[in-house]
Copies of this chain bind each other. A is one copy, B any other.
Amino acid sequence: MDYKQAGVDIDAGNEVVRRIRSMARGTFTPGVLSEIGSFGGLFRLDAAGISDPVLVASADGVGTKLRLAFLTGIHRTIGIDLVNHCVNDILVQGAQPLFFLDYLATGRLEPDVAVQIVAGLSTACRENGCALLGGETAEMPGFYADGEYDVAGFIVGAVARDRLIDGSAITPGDALIGVPSSGLHTNGYSLARRIVFDLAGLDVDSHVAELGTTVGAALLEPHRSYLPIIRPLLPSGLIKGMAHITGGGITDNLPRILPKGTAARIDPAAWQVPPVFEWIQRTGHVPDDDMRRTFNMGIGLIIACADVAADRVLADLAAAGEPHAARIGRVTGEGDGVRYVAP
């Protein structure tokens, strides 16, 4: 018995590695010192030109959004989702991305699927100025169903120590600015799938008039990167804190940046909840609280700044290409957590 009979095909793996390597090379920035295939990826931090740098790192997956990729056969956007999710997670602390590594695990490696995923990773890495520095492709017979996989991403960025954004300067009275999401991003898919597929009996090709597209297209919409619109704002120093609205929604994520003794008041009428969330809520009879603790509800990023700075931040966002950000609430000194009330 050899390794291939046991379900692991090293040659197929090597072929995928060759194709991946070439795509990854296209993302390399001046900091990269190594070729994919070294034991570790090498990155010269001084190439980033950041004085007194603090490294900011994050690990993430895309959750059960993967199921949509399995159902549609579209895997490229999963790679985009993963990179952008990671980029946003370190951006909220003021960091610019330096490099990214992925972990891709399958039962039996399907080269075309792996290549699609890495094509998405590479595209998003390039768009974010982030090197795809390495990764691991694991073939684990019996761990994943045929045609299924899991993928995790790991990002390292850097920020000058005196530009670190951690929310500690947030005080009652500060404004909370909501920046639109591009869809469900990468959270809430277990609930969304149960409602859409099990309860409503739809499939990925079902057209939903209200959404103007198919179920698959609406739910696969990629997680956007906030880097292009936030990067131009960082030098101003006006941003006191940022929350990336991921699993747990505004309810669980906004408090992660609020100092002890502060809370948030969010006006649910301050923005238009996108049709996809309203459709999911109505179809699944989901209570408001659960929706808000599960989905981003159309707000993928919240910025905290002084009330007097809010108009300037909104103008800067518009100038950077995001005209649809809006004040959605404010920081208060009462209680803790998030309350949803009209102002």
Chain A interface (Cβ within 8 Å of chain B)? Answer: 1-3, 5-8, 10, 33-34, 37-46, 52-61, 63-64, 66-67, 89-90, 92-93, 95, 98-99, 101-103, 105, 133-136, 138-144, 148, 150, 152, 154, 156-157, 161, 164, 166, 188, 190-191, 193-195, 199, 243-244, 247-248, 252, 256, 284-287, 290, 293-294
Contacts of A143 in B (CB 8 A): 64, 66, 144, 148, 150
A44 touching B54, Cβ below 8 Å: yes
B190 touching A3, Cβ below 8 Å: yes
Bound-complex Cα distance A88 to B252 (A): 37
Bound-complex Cα distance A188 to B284 (A): 46
**Given A46-B52, A150-B140, A156-B57, A7-B190 contact (CB < 8 Å):** yes
CB distance from A292 to the nearest CB of B (A): 11
A45 touching B42, Cβ below 8 Å: no
A142 touching B64, Cβ below 8 Å: yes
Contacts of A33 in B (CB 8 A): 54, 164
Bound-complex Cα distance A52 to B67 (A): 44
CB distance from A102 to the nearest CB of B (A): 7
Number of copies of chain A assembled together: 2
**Given A191-B3, A194-B1, A42-B61 contact (CB < 8 Å):** no
User: 29 A-B Cβ contacts within 8 A?
Assistant: A1-B195, A1-B285, A2-B286, A2-B290, A3-B293, A7-B190, A10-B247, A34-B166, A39-B89, A39-B90, A39-B244, A40-B95, A41-B56, A43-B55, A44-B55, A45-B53, A45-B54, A45-B55, A46-B52, A57-B99, A57-B101, A57-B134, A58-B101, A60-B103, A64-B140, A64-B141, A66-B140, A105-B150, A154-B154
Q: Among A7, A57, A256, which residue has the most Cβ atoms of chain B within 10 A?
A: A57
A59 touching B10, Cβ below 8 Å: no
CB distance from A301 to the nearest CB of B (A): 11
B58 touching A93, Cβ below 8 Å: no
A164 touching B286, Cβ below 8 Å: no
Bound-complex Cα distance A148 to B107 (A): 14
Contacts of A55 in B (CB 8 A): 42-45, 55, 98-99, 156
A40 touching B64, Cβ below 8 Å: no
Bound-complex Cα distance A89 to B41 (A): 10
Contacts of A294 in B (CB 8 A): 2-3
Bound-complex Cα distance A229 to B34 (A): 25
Nearest to A155 among chain B residues (CB) is: B40
Contacts of A58 in B (CB 8 A): 39-41, 101, 134
